[in-house]
Amino acid sequence: MVNRTEIAKLYDILIERFVEWAEPRSDIRAAVIIGSRARSNKPADEWADLDTVVITTNPEYYVSTADWIERMGKPLLTFIEPTATGDEKERRVLYDGMLDVDFAILPFDKVRQILSEKESSQLAAQLSNAFGRGMRVLMDKDNLLSDIKRILPPSAKASPEMTTQTEFLSVVNDFLYHTVWTAKHLMRGELWWADSCCNCRLSQLMLRMIEWHAQTKHDKKYDTWFRGRFLEQWTDQQTLEELNTTLAHYDKQDTFKALNAALNLFRRIATETAEKLGCEYPEDADKNIRKWLITLI
């Protein structure tokens, strides 16, 4: 059985080695731990990874090379992927013992330029996902991180703001459109494409509506976290039960069932959300699509 205390100690060793290596390097200007290992609300358990942001004057080196990660421990594998915002790159590393570390590499000049902008409200919203829930500063040679703290709202959260009619319709129409798209590819025999859309595209649109639905049942400051984190704790029980049948197996009949279940759940929470927000749900489009799906089934 995995021991939380022992795992935490192993991550602390990785952190200590990183600081010892990074502190004398002139190109690394700041480093901070974010995520579950830096926050007090829903802190890290034994399965949590280590999210580290590295602000450097030489980002290309840390993205293009991997020799430096050996200074922290024995890596089993490493690869590069976009950060959550998609603006920069992060190096993901799996160390011996299944220790998972993400090094988000941010250019120093870009961070400093953004922080110097007069209008900081948009920046605060962008940074809240990363830094708003907690940050553990490892080093800050230019006092950058104090500037980040200054522009963050008092209670930074990742919940999307309540929507307008235009935004609401965009999500609804996107969902209905890709319901038809999925069914067409399913009838063509392209099961992989159909399942990918049902389980990925439609699920992401469903999540956005679930977030709005939860906010309308509480208030606009109600915390729905980020990308469905802890969804089982902040959405209602009925939605959780209905979600159980909305993901498809690699089977034509099952995909049709999942598609129909997803459409029913989406309609329920979307119409309830529309009523609370004073928005209009596209009933005609929904009705026609349902009739068309029945003819296919």
Q: What was the pLDDT predicted at 18?
A: 98
Is the distance from CB of 223 to CB of 132 less than 8 angstroms? no
121 or 205, greater pLDDT: 205
Q: Write the pLDDT tens digit of every residue in 12-55.
A: 999 999 999 999 999 999 999 998 898 888 888 889 999 999 99
Q: What was the pLDDT predicted at 30?
A: 96
Q: Which residues are CB-neighbours of 232 under 8 A, at least 6 positions away?
A: 240
From the number of C-beta atoms within 10 Å of its C-beta (0-12, 13-18, 19+), residue 106 rates as buried
Q: How confident is the model at residue 254 (pLDDT cuts 50, 70, 90)?
A: very high
Q: What was the pLDDT predicted at 84?
A: 76
Q: How confident is the model at residue 127 (pLDDT cuts 50, 70, 90)?
A: low
Superfamily of domain 165-296: Nucleotidyltransferases  domain 2 (1.20.120.330)
42 or 198, greater pLDDT: 198
Q: Write the pLDDT tens digit of every residue in 154-177.
A: 555 555 566 788 999 999 999 999
| Half-sphere exposure for 149 (CA within 13 Å, toward CB) | 11
Of 9-18, 95-104, 147-156, 281-290, the least confident? 147-156
Share of the chain above pLDDT 70, in %: 90
What's the pTM? 0.82
From the number of C-beta atoms within 10 Å of its C-beta (0-12, 13-18, 19+), residue 283 rates as exposed
Q: CATH 1.20.120.330 residue ranges in the chain?
A: 165-296
CB atoms within 10 A of CB 255: 23
Of 89-98, 109-118, 272-281, the least confident? 109-118
Is the distance from CB of 52 to CB of 102 less than 8 angstroms? yes
Q: Phi, psi (5° rounding) for residue 254?
A: -65, -35
Superfamily of domain 4-151: Beta Polymerase, domain 2 (3.30.460.10)
Is the distance from CB of 50 to CB of 99 less than 8 angstroms? yes
Q: CATH 3.30.460.10 residue ranges in the chain?
A: 4-151
From the number of C-beta atoms within 10 Å of its C-beta (0-12, 13-18, 19+), residue 115 rates as middle
Q: What was the pLDDT predicted at 45?
A: 86
Residue 61 confidence (pLDDT) above 70: yes
